[in-house]
């Protein structure tokens, strides 16, 4: 099943309610980017904003942590409404333990890597994860250009997931929109995150529909 996840980083923060409602019926998931200014050179938003979105979103919240020591905060993100929480492989000392922590909260656990980290480094953790997020730009900012290497990385990871007899979706994040959605789906991605492509468009609902192919 293909799922489209608008990234609220590209929403209008003065009118968040309007933007949540604009995509509520079209989106499958809300993608929320949490940046701490240390793991990535940018700061986004935190618990109160996630909680506010949660109060009106009718679709699950997917919290993408770009923070050091994610284990310190997973419980609080679960409390403010996250249904999915992902963190970067190199942001913690014991990724398997953090995946277990997230699952123990009744939340789907995801592992993320930036484009310069080999997909092979994920292999020991696949069995402990509910989804994998492959960055198709370097985490930290919206509106960047999609990195073409991502197609090969999705294919390689898909093969390994099958080899291990697992069934977990691959999410792709960064520079994604109607122009590359079809090729990403063909390569094996199942969750497509799109910020600028959705919220900078005249008709966000139509963009989401177009991305489904
Ligand atoms: C980047 C974030 C993305 C970002 C995507 O660090 O993880 O989720 O919002 O934005 P676009 O779709 O504009 O590249
Ligand atoms: Zn993200």
CA of 193 to the centre of ligand 1 (A): 7
Contacts of 210 by beta carbon, 8 Å cutoff, 6+ apart: 178, 181
pLDDT at 127: 98
CA of 95 to the centre of ligand 1 (A): 23
Query: What is the C-alpha radius of gyration for the chain, rounded to an integer number of angstroms?
Result: 16
State the Cα–Cα distance between residues 174 and 128, nearest whole angstrom: 24
Per-residue pLDDT of the chain (213 residues; tens, 9 = 90+): 999 999 999 999 999 999 999 999 999 999 999 999 999 999 999 999 999 999 999 999 999 999 999 999 999 999 999 999 999 999 999 999 999 999 999 999 999 999 999 999 999 999 999 999 999 999 999 999 999 999 999 999 999 999 999 999 999 999 999 999 999 999 999 999 999 999 999 999 999 999 997
**DSSP letter, residue 42:** -
pLDDT at 83: 98
pLDDT at 206: 97
Q: How many CA atoms lie within 13 A of 199 on its CB side?
A: 25
Given ligand 1 and candidates 144, 179, 192, 207, which is best to mutate, with the most ligand atoms within 8 Å of its CB? 144
State the Cα–Cα distance between residues 101 and 86, nearest whole angstrom: 12
Judge whether 40 and 64 are in contact, CB under 8 Å: no
Ligand 1 and 176: CB distance under 6 A? yes
pLDDT at 213: 78
For residue 173, indicate whether it is catalytic: yes
CA of 158 to the centre of ligand 2 (A): 20
The ligand 1 atom at the shortest distance from the C-alpha of residue 196 is 13
pLDDT at 197: 98
State the Cα–Cα distance between residues 133 and 114, nearest whole angstrom: 9
């Amino acid at each position: 099943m293909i799922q489209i996840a608008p990234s609220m980083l590209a929403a209008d923060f003065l009118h968040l309610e309007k933007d949540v409602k604009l995509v509520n019926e079209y989106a499958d998931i809300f993608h929320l980017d949490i940046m701490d200014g240390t793991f990535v050179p940018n700061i986004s938003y935190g618990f109160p904003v996630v909680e506010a979105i949660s109060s009106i979103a009718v679709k699950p919240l997917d919290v993408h942590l770009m923070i050091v020591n994610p284990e310190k905060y997973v419980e609080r993100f679960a409390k403010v409404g996250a249904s999915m929480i992902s963190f970067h492989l190199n942001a913690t000392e014991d990724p398997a333990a953090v995946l277990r922590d997230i699952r123990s909260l009744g939340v789907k656990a995801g592992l993320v890597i930036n484009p310069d980290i080999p997909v092979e480094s994920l292999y020991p953790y696949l069995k402990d994860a509910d989804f994998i997020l492959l960055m198709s730009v370097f985490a930290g900012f919206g509106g960047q250009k999609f990195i073409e290497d991502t197609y090969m990385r999705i294919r390689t990871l898909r093969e390994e997931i099958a080899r291990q007899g697992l069934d977990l979706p691959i999410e792709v994040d960064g520079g994604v929109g109607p122009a590359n959605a079809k090729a990403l789906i063909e390569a094996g991605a199942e969750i497509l995150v799109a910020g600028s492509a959705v919220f900078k468009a005249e008709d966000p609902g139509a963009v989401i529909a177009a991305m489904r192919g």
